Chain A
């Protein structure tokens, strides 16, 4: 494993980022733009001529965009959250706006943007429910809910385009009345101060954001709503009309998945870490599986992790979790950073991940005291930050897992050189 890791770290990312790191015109507000003191991975090199000749993408588009982990938009103070820039356009027009600091989440599906960061001139058309009335969504995360309209936009990232797809406009003032079935799920996260980023792009393997929970009658509270005036009523929405992983709707061949690429981070953490989000798997020179092992997952995106003899059958990789989150009562809890783990000295641990296809590999990982790590207030990236998990069945491999790796996320039903999705590979 060690040799494989080193090979991946030292060769593939460098080659991929150097060639595929296209920064599209209009991405000047890239979250990577204010990096300082980080290793230059070359991710913001723009050379469209190079891309068309050496990228090798069958669709000939720039399929890579810079991705950075840093403290996020001013005043938010993110820890271990990856960001990219996303361009929205009124469908079929050149009326576009590039949104920086959109967090990248392999644990959810769909593009969600805060209404408050959109230009008033970007008049995105409203999507309608089957009732003929405007469609709105309540999306529940684990830490709160987002509420707002569903509108359509052309979504552009690097050279990729998903035309006229439904996206979620969080906190849309035209839908200011939150249904009780939504607000009763937790905390409202409809502003930058509560949501923590300008938006979120969910690139989970499962392409529709809600699936049968939302498509089958009776309509469920806390999901999609048909709104007439200020009165919103739960409504069913077919999978095809739900928010989608935008990648699945790209016009190019790069629609079968993505690769999250990050170099390693210095011991003790860093203020910023520059990587890349590459679209497609096996469609270009910069997204070949190489020696990565494919671990297939079930319909919920889960595989199995065996940790210290405990078999955790609902484990997953998630760039939207900012820690390694698992139960181990032998590791001390923090006194300051509540919920985090604070071993007396740094721990070197290991676990086995087992795909539903029984492919298994061993993961070496570290856990260091969060109280110690947080001692340097300017750091925002740590590869050894851990929290107590939710139960003994789940190992949530959050952002620290992605640091120093190329992680492939193949979409459900998509064809790739490593077999059909859904799977993770690394």
Chain B
């Protein structure tokens, strides 16, 4: 928890000035990754999560605090697309909900690399997923390269 606060503080600093009202069209979306802001709200309802929104220098960060303690970050681009999702918690989150149409690439992988079970590095079709951790501390991130806004480095900007 302490770490999360630190991270948020950093994000706020990075955000600089607050901005903007309208985030893209309010299309109906079941998806989250690759979806729009409405899909984030849908995630929040599904996960019964408390949600906060931070304006970033580039787009928005929606923070979903799931009652189980799992914390989900969803990053929206200035054009309103969810380009990245991260998670951190005692167990894995509902990735079907969070990854939407991209979930099948995670759940039905062809090539299986036998590497122990605490690391995943998936290079999919316009999808990258990394997961790591150990008992009680699972961390992961998934992003859609074609949706990542210019100027955003997923390795350094996404937490």
Task: Decide: B107 and A389 in contact? CB cutoff 8 A.
Answer: no
Q: Decide yes or no whether A294 CB sits under 8 A from chain B.
A: no
Q: Decide yes or no whether B94 CB sits under 8 A from chain A.
A: yes
Given A140-B92, A187-B106, is A301 in contact with B135 using a C-beta cutoff of 8 Å?
yes
Task: Decide: B114 and A390 in contact? CB cutoff 8 A.
Answer: no
Query: Which of B67, B121, B135, B159 makes the CB contact (< 8 A) with A339?
Result: B121
Task: Decide: B108 and A187 in contact? CB cutoff 8 A.
Answer: yes
Question: In the assembled complex, which residues on chain A have CB atoms less than 8 Å from the CB atom of B155?
Answer: 327, 329, 388
Q: Decide yes or no whether B131 CB sits under 8 A from chain A.
A: yes
Q: Decide yes or no whether A200 CB sits under 8 A from chain B.
A: yes
Given A81-B116, A339-B123, is A143 in contact with B135 using a C-beta cutoff of 8 Å?
no
Q: Decide yes or no whether B22 CB sits under 8 A from chain A.
A: no
Measured CB to CB, the closest approach of chain A to B105, in angstroms, equals: 10
* A402 vs B90: C-alpha distance when bound (angstroms): 25
What 0/1 pattern do residues 188 to 202 of A give for CB contact below 8 A with B?
Answer: 110001101100101
Question: In the assembled complex, which residues on chain A have CB atoms less than 8 Å from the CB atom of B121?
Answer: 338-340, 387-388
Task: Decide: B119 and A322 in contact? CB cutoff 8 A.
Answer: yes
Q: Decide yes or no whether A241 CB sits under 8 A from chain B.
A: no
Task: Give 6 closest A-B pairs by Cβ, nearest first.
Answer: A339-B121, A107-B134, A184-B96, A141-B117, A196-B114, A140-B92
Question: In the assembled complex, which residues on chain B have CB atoms less than 8 Å from the CB atom of A47?
Answer: none
Question: In the assembled complex, which residues on chain B have CB atoms less than 8 Å from the CB atom of A222?
Answer: 91-94
What 0/1 pattern do residues 133 to 156 of B give for CB contact below 8 A with A?
Answer: 111111111000000000000011
Task: Decide: B95 and A184 in contact? CB cutoff 8 A.
Answer: yes
Task: Decide: A213 and B136 in contact? CB cutoff 8 A.
Answer: yes
* A396 vs B119: C-alpha distance when bound (angstroms): 9
Query: Which of A183, A196, A318 makes the CB contact (< 8 A) with B118?
Result: A318
Question: In the assembled complex, which residues on chain A have CB atoms less than 8 Å from the CB atom of B16?
Answer: none
Interface hits, A311-347 → B, CB 8 Å: 313-314, 316, 318-323, 325, 327, 329, 338-340
Interface hits, A198-234 → B, CB 8 Å: 200, 202, 204, 206, 209-211, 213, 218, 220-223
Q: Decide yes or no whether A185 CB sits under 8 A from chain B.
A: yes
Question: In the assembled complex, which residues on chain A have CB atoms less than 8 Å from the CB atom of B136?
Answer: 206, 210-211, 213, 299-301
Most buried by B among A81, A184, A209, A322: A184
Measured CB to CB, the closest approach of chain A to B111, in angstroms, equals: 10
Q: Decide yes or no whether B52 CB sits under 8 A from chain A.
A: no
Q: Decide yes or no whether A186 CB sits under 8 A from chain B.
A: yes
Measured CB to CB, the closest approach of chain B to A324, in angstroms, equals: 11
Name which of A71-79, A88-96, A254-262 contacts chain B.
A71-79
Measured CB to CB, the closest approach of chain A to B135, in angstroms, equals: 5
* A249 vs B96: C-alpha distance when bound (angstroms): 37
Show 20 residue pairs from A and B whose CB-CB distance is below 8 angstroms, ordered by the A residue.
A103-B116, A105-B118, A108-B117, A140-B92, A187-B108, A196-B112, A200-B117, A220-B91, A299-B136, A301-B136, A320-B118, A321-B115, A321-B132, A338-B123, A388-B155, A392-B156, A396-B119, A396-B132, A398-B116, A398-B119
Task: Decide: B135 and A142 in contact? CB cutoff 8 A.
Answer: no
Measured CB to CB, the closest approach of chain A to B68, in angstroms, equals: 5
Which residue of A is nearest B159, CB measured?
Answer: A391
Query: Which of B90, B117, B123 makes the CB contact (< 8 A) with A143?
Result: B117
* A251 vs B16: C-alpha distance when bound (angstroms): 60
Interface hits, B1-34 → A, CB 8 Å: 3
Task: Decide: A314 and B119 in contact? CB cutoff 8 A.
Answer: no
* A220 vs B48: C-alpha distance when bound (angstroms): 12
Given A187-B108, A211-B136, is A390 in contact with B92 using a C-beta cutoff of 8 Å?
no
**Number of A interface residues in the complex (CB < 8 A):** 74
- Label chain B's interface by main secondary structure: mixed
Query: Which of A180, A185, A389 makes the CB contact (< 8 A) with B93?
Result: A185
Task: Decide: B91 and A210 in contact? CB cutoff 8 A.
Answer: yes
Given A187-B107, A390-B140, is A323 in contact with B94 using a C-beta cutoff of 8 Å?
no
Q: Decide yes or no whether A63 CB sits under 8 A from chain B.
A: no
Query: Which of A144, A223, A329, A396 makes the CB contact (< 8 A) with B91?
Result: A223
Most buried by A among B69, B116, B120: B116
Q: Decide yes or no whether A99 CB sits under 8 A from chain B.
A: no
Which residue of A is nearest B117, CB measured?
Answer: A141
Question: In the assembled complex, which residues on chain A have CB atoms less than 8 Å from the CB atom of B94?
Answer: 181, 184-185, 221-222
Given A184-B96, A391-B139, A392-B156, is A107 in contact with B106 using a C-beta cutoff of 8 Å?
no
Question: In the assembled complex, which residues on chain B have CB atoms less than 8 Å from the CB atom of A300?
Answer: 134-137
* A256 vs B135: C-alpha distance when bound (angstroms): 18
* A213 vs B3: C-alpha distance when bound (angstroms): 19
Task: Decide: B116 and A322 in contact? CB cutoff 8 A.
Answer: yes
Query: Which of B103, B106, B107, B135 makes the CB contact (< 8 A) with A209?
Result: B135
* A387 vs B155: C-alpha distance when bound (angstroms): 13
Measured CB to CB, the closest approach of chain B to A172, in angstroms, equals: 19
* A399 vs B120: C-alpha distance when bound (angstroms): 15
* A140 vs B87: C-alpha distance when bound (angstroms): 14
* A322 vs B121: C-alpha distance when bound (angstroms): 12
Q: Decide yes or no whether A30 CB sits under 8 A from chain B.
A: no
* A141 vs B106: C-alpha distance when bound (angstroms): 13
* A393 vs B133: C-alpha distance when bound (angstroms): 12
Q: Decide yes or no whether A304 CB sits under 8 A from chain B.
A: no
Task: Decide: B132 and A394 in contact? CB cutoff 8 A.
Answer: yes
Task: Decide: A186 and B106 in contact? CB cutoff 8 A.
Answer: yes
Which residue of B is nearest A81, CB measured?
Answer: B116
Measured CB to CB, the closest approach of chain A to B91, in angstroms, equals: 5
